[in-house]
Amino acid sequence: MERRTFIAGSLALGVTPAAAQDAPTPTAARIKIITTAGPDLKKIEDWYTGAFDLKVRERGKVSANAAKSWGAPKAAGRGYILMSSDGSPDVFWRAVETDIPAGYTPMTTFGWNAWEIIVDDPQAAFEKMKKSPFRYIAGPNPLKSTKSIVASQFEGPAKEVFYLTCETGDRAKSILPTPKGLIDRPFILVVAGQEIEKLRDWYADTFQMAKGPINNSVVEIINDAQGIARDTPRPLTLLKMSQHGNMLELDGYVGGKGARPRSDGQLPPGNAMASFNVPSLDAIKVKFISPPAKLEGAAYGGKRAATVVGVAGEPVELIEL
């Protein structure tokens, strides 16, 4: 799985020790919610609670305020489910009822393309997933450059993609977070765009994140999805949030179908939206879809939230700490 051969080097070489001392603290603190969008919430709930051992923390209908904030007015009144692991109960996996356009295939379009989940035992997680309805994609395989990191990939009921990743070596020295259960929480979110320099610069500049190097890497599962030669390299880079074990992976798509199709007024299908905690929305100098507003529910707790559209068309929801 060559996708991961660059990770350790990217994070180690992105900022020199001297520069790190002067670098500002990223305003993107940590991952708060991953949102998957698909038409069958019952199926998503059954698959997630069965394979991932998630617990349902809240269910209901999307409020008009939330839908307006997301730029998805026709999501209002649609069902949603909020889930989390017992190990990380305040990091949420959200599913929102959404129509999937005909012909949509994962890992072929711009936007959010995968959620990477930290696991405690790669083989045990793999065996559990293999007994589930999730579609197997690849792995578990060790990284070529860091043999102690092992990962497998699966596709869910809304055509969303998951990477299940584990540090099998010294976790105290690892860039990965320490899992708090067999399958715990998202720790890397993968977003794809056409021009990786613009993608990196937008996230780095918007959230004061150190710019890591851009490396070429072969990602066979993406090349397979896009119908291009398996050994085709693509540019990738990583950006770190302020809390350990919270990162973004940025992929440059050299093939694929371009912009993500979406049903009118709804969220994008599959890996739909990522939500980050930030100390203050006032410090984020972007054009929000609508002004920051206090949102209710377990994931928000009455905190202010606002959504911005990233350079690849991906919705990025920001929630104040």
- What domains are defined for the chain? 2-320 (3.10.180.10)
Quickly count: other Cβ atoms within 10 Å of residue 285's Cβ.
7
Question: Does the structure show a pLDDT above 80 at 311?
Answer: yes
Question: Does the structure show a pLDDT above 50 at 179?
Answer: yes
Number of H helices, E strands in the chain: 7, 16
- Tell me how far apart the alpha carbons of residues 55 and 81 are, in angstroms, rounded to a whole number: 10
What is the Rg, in whole angstroms, of the alpha carbon atoms belonging to the chain? 18
Q: What is the largest CA-CA distance in the chain?
A: 51
Cα–Cα nearest to 85, from 173, 187, 191, 4 = 187
Residue pair 269/38 in contact (Cβ under 8 Å)? The answer is yes
Q: Bigger pLDDT: 214 or 17?
A: 214
Where does the pLDDT of residue 22 fall: very low under 50, low under 70, confident under 90, or very high at 90 and above? low
Q: Among 158-162, 171-175, 270-274, which is the least confidently predicted range?
A: 171-175
Give residue-wise pLDDT tens across range 47-100: 999 999 999 999 999 999 999 999 999 999 999 999 999 999 999 999 999 999
Task: Please name the residue that has the structure tokens 């395989």.
Answer: 141
Whether omega before 235 lies within 30 degrees of 0, making that bond cis, reads no
Where does the pLDDT of residue 1 fall: very low under 50, low under 70, confident under 90, or very high at 90 and above? very low
Task: Please name the residue that has the structure tokens 């990162």.
Answer: 247
Q: Is the pTM of this model over 0.85?
A: yes
High-pLDDT (> 90) share of the chain, %: 88
pLDDT at 15: 43
**At a CB cut-off of 8 Å and minimum separation 6, what does 315 contact?**
70, 71, 72, 267, 268, 272, 273, 274, 289, 307, 308, 309
pLDDT at 21: 54
Give residue-wise pLDDT tens across range 225-275: 999 999 999 999 999 999 999 999 999 998 889 999 999 999 999 999 999
